[in-house]
Amino acid sequence: DIRESKKGQIMIPGLVDVEVRNISQVFEVLAAGAKARSIAATDMNEYSSRSHTIFQLQLCQCLEDNNGTNIIKQGKLSFVDLAGSEKWKSHQLSKFTSERIRELTSINKSLSTLGKCIA
């Protein structure tokens, strides 16, 4: 679960920060992340994401201009796959296991904190 500490820090269990130097390494990290995704069949989707995935690519380029001055260019791209959040009504509770209800509650709760992680 994504949590916020008392000091306002975002805590993400399983977060991995990897430095890469080329596109091949980027794809290796993406493949490892894809293997760690949690998916399950739902009423709406056979392969529904059951966990959030955030892939942030921070780019840094160091250049030297014509005067010999170092110029640093930075950028950040965020790719987000949100876990599916199904709407359900109290009369459907008998259809879901207690594990599924906990999962849905956890997904909805973490969605409200997720925006702070991407900023």
Q: Write the DSSP symbol of residue 63.
A: E
Q: What is the pLDDT of residue 73?
A: 95
More confident residue, 47 or 10: 10
68: left (phi over 0), alpha (psi -120 to 50) or beta: left
What percentage of the chain reaches a pLDDT higher than 70? Answer: 64
Residue-level pLDDT at 34: 81
Cβ pair 49, 41 in contact under 8 A: no
Could you tell me the maximum CA-CA distance found in the chain, to the nearest angstrom? Answer: 72
Residue 90 has pLDDT above 70, yes or no: no
pLDDT at 82: 72
Measured CA angle at 42 (ends 39, 47), to 5 deg: 35
The pTM of the whole model exceeds 0.95 = no
Over residues 93-117, the pLDDT tens digits come to: 666 777 777 776 776 666 666 666 6
Residue 13 has pLDDT above 70, yes or no: yes
Instruction: Please state, in angstroms and rounded to a whole number, the distance separating the CA atoms of residues 28 and 31.
Output: 5
Nearest to 73 by CA among 82, 83, 65: 65
pLDDT digits (tens, 9 = 90+) for 38-61: 776 666 667 666 677 778 888 899
CA 82/CA 53 separation, integer angstroms: 6
Cα Rg of the chain, angstroms:
19
